[in-house]
Structure 1
Amino acid sequence: MKKIYNPNREDWSEILKRPTQTVADIEDIVLEVFNEVKTNRDEAVLRYSKKFDKVDLQDFLVTASEIEDATKMLDTNLKEAIQLAKSNIEKFHEEQRTGRVYRETAEGVECWQEKRPIQKVGLYIPGGTAPLFSTILMLAVPANLAGCEEIVLCTPPDSNGNVNPAILYTAGLCGVTKICKVGGIQAIAGMSFGTQTIPKVYKIFGPGNQFVTVAKQLATKFDVAIDMPAGPSELLVVADSSANPAFVASDLLSQAEHGKDSQVILVTTSKEIVNEVEDEISKQLEELPRKEIAREAINNSKLIYVEDDKVALKLINEYGPEHFIICVEDEDFYVNNIANAGSVFIGNYTPESAGDYASGTNHTLPTNGYAKQYSGVNLDSFMKSMTFQKISSKGIQVIGNAIELMAEAEGLQAHKNAVTLRLESLTKAQR
């Protein structure tokens, strides 16, 4: 990791740059796949799965018997752990439910808001080197709580055409309605346009590599909503001399092992912590099965020393981390003043891994600085708010003249007439 001491403010943007490609670098190939899938549907999906994922499939729909077999082969202790996590996630997301909002804004003018589920949602679950079955919990659980009618899951299979049994078990446990063995750009394209096998959905959720991230962003051009531009994982830890260097290093490595394009950053007010964490990373890294992946991610990462908490906070808000861990004596300063972060973890005994799996919060979070304007996935992500209004004869008389004046001022005579006709009818009726 690169060590940086008291960087100048004008250098922050360069220091905090993510190791990712831009949309322009990837857009051409994404659009090529989109156009092919739109035109040739299942045939194109199968062709790109062979090209990109090196898997030759005749059919990519997961069967009920495959889910049953996965349930049987999965370790009982793991199944119980998944069930515990599901329970905690359900509890926290159920608390996010809000009721009807009502207000009579003027006499005879009733306005209210209610929420309705998005009927068809698509979940993208990364497979590959790390099959993220935990992401199914984070997406399918709130989708079910919201009342989504159709929950479609796409995930890449292995080279033999099989999906990790933990993914299949979790999907079955969480009420996913259809599972397709499809990954990458072709999965996003399939859910965007619909094929013979993959249903078209209204909104796509889930993390992925840079190609999946760009595919999701471009899907919005084709009448599909997305949760957020969620790309490679990132984590920032702020620490002072009260932090445990071994804990900090373990948290940094926990994100570094996600992928070579992941990024982790330590911001600290202690020069000793810089060196101690660096030493711990070197020790712990060698024990990791995914050390080669983690090592490359560590090369993209930084250890940054600043003189005080105020400077640290400004730098952190400029970065807008996906995951933000607070390991300092004055926790409240950061808790109360952090403006840009996907999810916050407080104290030496709150590892980011807890949020990834079983504490109850959602781990599908904005990356690449999008925490400045996006929220992480929550119950409302699977719902849409609808407003209603009912105006009585008295109500239209109360606000009608204001509507007429405003419509006329905007040059919209038909808008004015829609009110005038009603007011005139009421005047006649009162004679």
Structure 2
Amino acid sequence: MTETLAETTSEAKEPLPEFPMPRAAGCPFEPPPAVRALHTERPITRVRPWDGSAPWLVTRYADQRALLADPRVSAENTLPGYPHANAGFRDNIEQRRSFVTMDDPEHARIRRMVTAPFAIKRIEAMRPDMQKITDDLIDTMLAGPTSVDLVHAFALPLPSLVICRLLGVPFEDHDFFQRNSSLLLTRHCSAEEAAGANEALVDYLDGLVAVKLADPADDMLSELAARVTAGELTRREAATTGVLLLLAGHETTANMIALGTIALLEHPDQLAVLRETDDPKVIAKAVEELLRYLSIVQNGLRRVALADIEIGGETIRAGDGILLLTNTANWDGEIFPEPERLDIGRDARRHMAFGFGVHQCLGQPLARVELQVVYGTLFRRIPTLRLATGVDQLPFKEDSLAYGVYELPVTWAS
């Protein structure tokens, strides 16, 4: 749809740009050209998403940080004007509701209950276990044929194993939860499909919470079950929180592992530095730059204005939806000079890959350590690793809310 909205856009009678916008052929890592053009010409502008609404698209780093820190900007997805990603998200609000789409004090109340397991010291204590999982998966790869689909042999099982152990979810059920989580993250998921997938996952986690209520263990689901016993959470809240942690704990990191591998293989000079070092500071810096360069969440953090907000020469009215594109913030040349250049020596710690403000990603310490282990191990253990097909032949997840690849054929010298 390109009907005009003279009453809702500062450019009277000008068609609103469609959103999301297509990526340029042969440029799988760059934000879409139309988005980059808006970043330069109209960094705060209205766009037309799937439902015909007209939320504001915000592309600049400074504007995004200001809005994400502004108490007049809400993450509450039940409010009118909230820019839902698809019909499934919009029509199943109550079934999918979790603390990430709540405002304080409810957001803070539930978030505090799941913060401790993601504390940096606790995650660092898991590093040897992550290293063993990584080495075991690589051992299995090296024991077989000299070519694999890296997504299914390595990138997906690694974070799945880690989050399953952290939560207390049986890994043998990974096919079930990966199938349903992938469906939920598909941009074109129907309301019926989303409802079915979400119900299946919530029922599954609810059953696990029931098990933990009767027989607690040393895991996060047992901690959530204890909150249920104490009357701090309902079983439904515990189950939906478990679903959120399970999905976020494996999908995004799996996509990041695969995309980062492609990016490094396409930049052999940067890969050589990473492959030849055992300096944890160099590896950690490389991870931050890859997070900046790739930005798994490609279609924006979603918010709604609670009051009129003047920013960047525009007035965002109360009730207006807001889309904050972290990938363009991470490619903002005022913050990251030559943003299109992958430079693992760059100080990229200010990137927006995990968001900003009170809703920034809870699991970022876990993701960082997993990626440090992976990128510090994979290319050292398999120094001749290379793509088994051209980048233009890879099935990128253009239809998903979490960007990545469905398959990644790789090979190496025997």
The structure richer in strand per residue is 1
Q: TM-score range by the shorter chain?
A: under 0.3
Structure showing greater Rg: 1
Q: With the length of structure 2 as denominator, give the TM-score of the two structures.
A: 0.25
